[in-house]
Amino acid sequence: MPDRIPCRCLLHDAYPDMETLIRSVLDSMPEDERLEETQYKARLDLCLQCSHLADGTCVLCGCYVEARAASRFSRCPDTPPKWSSQS
C-alpha cells in the first residue's frame, strides 16, 4: 500500500469517521469558552489556506485545528498568528 500523502484539509475531511469525535469535543466545551460560529468558521477558513495544515493537524503545535479554533482563548501558533484569541 502506498504511503498516504497528507492533505491540506480539516480532520473530518481527512478521516470522515472522526466527525463524531470532533463534535463531541466541541459540544463538551463550556459555552463561555466557545467562539461564535461565524468566527469559528472564519478561523477554519484561514487554517485551510495555511501551509502548516496537514490532515487536520497544525504541524507547528500538533493540535487538531477544529478543536483549537473553537476556543475563544486560543490563538494561531504561527508567527505572526493568522488569528488571535478573543479574550
Question: What residues does each domain of the chain span?
Answer: 11-68
pTM here is 0.84
Identify the weakest region by mean pLDDT among 1-5, 40-44, 70-74: 1-5
Alpha helices in the chain (DSSP H): 11-14, 19-28, 37-48, 65-68
Mean per-residue pLDDT for 66-76? Answer: 95
Cell numbers standing for residue 78: 504561527
The pLDDT of residue 14: 77
* Digit-coded pLDDT (tens) for 6-61: 677 888 777 878 888 888 989 999 999 999 999 999 999 999 999 999 989 999 99
Count of residues for the chain?
87
Count other Cβ atoms within 10 Å, centred on residue 81.
Answer: 12
Rounded Cα gap, residues 56 and 74, in angstroms: 16
**Confidence band (pLDDT; 50, 70, 90) for 83?**
very high
